[in-house]
Amino acid sequence: MSVVKINVLTVPPEQREVLEQRFAHRAGAVENSDGFEWFELLRPVEGTDDYLVYTRWRSEEDFQSWQGGQDFARGHAQAAGDRGSARPAATGSQIWSFDVVQSTGPAQES
């Protein structure tokens, strides 16, 4: 069964555009990682400054392999400073982990 990792990023209002641009220009290497299934960047609408970075993986091992690999390191180093500012857009971060117990959605190709 798949696993979901949600990175909860606290982003002050003045840094939202910076964060969204960094994600829009990210290298995209995660999509080519073994076991990767899904990505979404969720913008808060009301009541919080927390963005959610949702990724879904075939297994915990696949997520750990990506997190420990060069693509992860390159992507996070790039996001931290190559857009004209060495300052991170987020002021806080935490990871939530879930096992997928039930899922519905569009039919997936074999």
CATH code: domain 3-98 is: 3.30.70.100
pLDDT score of 98 more than 60? yes
Q: Residue 53: name the closest of 110, 5, 89 by CA.
A: 5
Taking residues 1-18, report their average pLDDT. 94
Q: Strand order in 50-57's β-sheet?
A: 36-42, 50-57, 3-10, 92-99
Give per-residue pLDDT as tens, 11-32: 999 999 999 998 888 767 788 8
In this structure, which amino acid lies at residue 43? R
Report if pTM > 0.75.
yes
Please state, as a whole number, how many other Cβ atoms lie within 10 Å of the Cβ of residue 72. Answer: 16
CB of 38 closer than 8 Å to CB of 10: no
CB of 23 closer than 8 Å to CB of 80: no
CB of 51 closer than 8 Å to CB of 42: yes
